[in-house]
Structure 1
Amino acid sequence: MFDLKQIFSVTLILFSVIDILGSVPIIINLRKKVGHIQSSKATLAAGFLMLLFLFVGKSILSLFGIGVEDFAIAGALIIFALGVEMILGIELFKPDPEASTTSASIVPIAFPLIAGAGTLTTILTLKAEFTQANIAVGIIINLAIVYAVLKSTNWLERKLGKTGLDVLRRIFGIILLSIAVKIFKTALMSGDMVAV
């Protein structure tokens, strides 16, 4: 039932898309504004969204008359934009400075930083290639990583420094661009096959 190769692949893909390390500068900036980030609440909220989408995401989309390919293309465009943002060092998402620690932990950290449209699209796309059980394990591993990173943002800020964080953002930005192109191509090819 469980396949270590599949679990490793899913974990790596989701790790690149979630890009919790690339989000560290945003989290540090937000923490300075609201004072504290509730790591457990952010991780649990993100985990709930990701697992919900894994099990009933397709049904949710069908309620709105949206196909998985349509959602995948929309998500690919968002992932592409995030990758461009990270490579060029642009900040598109501006957190609300008036946000409380609880609301800031849920929005923007749990959603859209961790379980954003890109992550949710990737989870749906992965279902075409990997089993649901292996995807669930990959999600749980990533949630553990997310929790550990959220808990250690102070330490990461000191150890990596501004230059280290900038380099990480750009590396993961390039990975995200590649993932976006792959999702876009796969979704287009699936759409063409359905049309035929």
Structure 2
Amino acid sequence: MDFGHSLLYSFIGMFVAMDIIGVLPMYLGMTVGLEAKRRRRLVNLSVMVAAGVAFAFAMLGHWIFKLLGIAIYDFKVGGGIVLLVMAILDLIKGRGDKEHSASTGVVPLGVPLITGPGLIATVMLQVGIYGNIIVILSMLGNFLFAWAALRKSALITRFIGVEGTDIVSKIAALLMTAIAFAMIRTGLFEAIRAAK
């Protein structure tokens, strides 16, 4: 397979694993009531953290997991539990009661929503298939796209209005619970298969 095709397949695989379009409603819900400057800072921080984590796992993931004695399915279950707890808190308290801080850019937006177990597994597998250069280029392209999509999400907020963003925030919290359960379920099934 030539360089161009390898790069394309790598990019598409990461794009599907990241699912930044699916993250947008959750990001809108998390940033209800935030001024534009803080929203931009949150996007910058979340994408930088997500990219840093993905890059670290692409280069060192196999050694990190081996050193800690964990598998991808362990990471899926753990990440899913963290996401589930945060989603339930958002449903109970509501976004308006939530204190927005820099940590929101780290958890859950940067990790595990943008860079979750699926993307981590994808980049670790792709390094073995395509090599470091192609994987790094694919990551750069995907994270630039994610950054641009999140930065332009303010247009959506203006379009749907305040009540619309409140509705989106509740739907986003429900979606987060579904994603969390899916992560936990697949992690548990993979663990059961590995134990046989």
Question: 1:56: which partner in 2?
Answer: 60
| Structure 2 Cα separation of the partners of residues 18 and 186 of structure 1 | 24
Cα 1:13–1:187 change in 2 (3 A) is farther
Q: 2:79 aligns with which of 68, 75, 81?
A: 75
C-alpha change, 1:27 and 1:137, in structure 2 (3 Å) is: farther
Cα deviation, residue 47, structure 1: 1.1
What's the CA shift for 1:167? 7.5
Cα 1:49–1:8 shift into 2, 3 Å: same
Aligned pairs for 1:181-192 (under 5 A) are: 181-190=185-194, 192=195
2:160 matched residue in structure 1: 160
Which residue pairs with 2:50 in the alignment? Answer: 46
- Given candidates 101, 116, 120, the residue that maps to 1:124 is 120
Distance 2:75 2:81 in 1: 10
Q: Does 2:108 align with 1:113?
A: yes
Q: CA RMSD in A?
A: 4.0
* C-alpha displacement of 1:62: 3.5
- Residue 19 of structure 2 aligns to a residue whose secondary structure is helix
Give me the whole-angstrom Cα distance separating, in 2, the residues matched to 1:48 and 1:74.
19
Which residue number in structure 1 is paired with residue 70 of structure 2? 66
Deviations 1:48-81 (A, max 9, x none): 2221122212323343343443223212333444
2:15 maps to 1:11: yes
Please tell me whether the aligned partners of residues 83 and 176 of structure 2 are also in contact (alpha carbons under 8 angstroms): no
Structure 1 CA distance, aligned partners of 2:21 and 2:89?
14
Structure-2 change in CA distance of 1:49 and 1:20 (3 Å): farther
Q: Which runs of 5+ in 1 are unaligned?
A: none
Provide the identity percentage.
12
- 1:36 Cα deviation from its structure 2 partner: 5.4
Write out per-residue CA displacement over residues 102-138 of structure 1, whole angstroms, 9 at most, x where no aligned residue.
xx2xx321x123331463422333357x523576566
TM (norm. structure 2) is: 0.64
> Does the C-alpha gap of structure 1 residues 36 and 68 become closer, same or farther in structure 2, counting only changes over 3 Å?
closer
Contact 1:51 1:136 in 2 (8 A): yes
By how many angstroms is 1:157 displaced?
Answer: 0.9
Long gaps (5+) in structure 2: none
Q: Which amino acid aligns with 1:22?
A: M
Contact map agreement 1:7 1:138 (CA 8 A) in 2 = yes
CA contact (8 A) 1:43 1:143 kept: yes
1:36 and 1:91 mapped to 2: Cα distance? 18
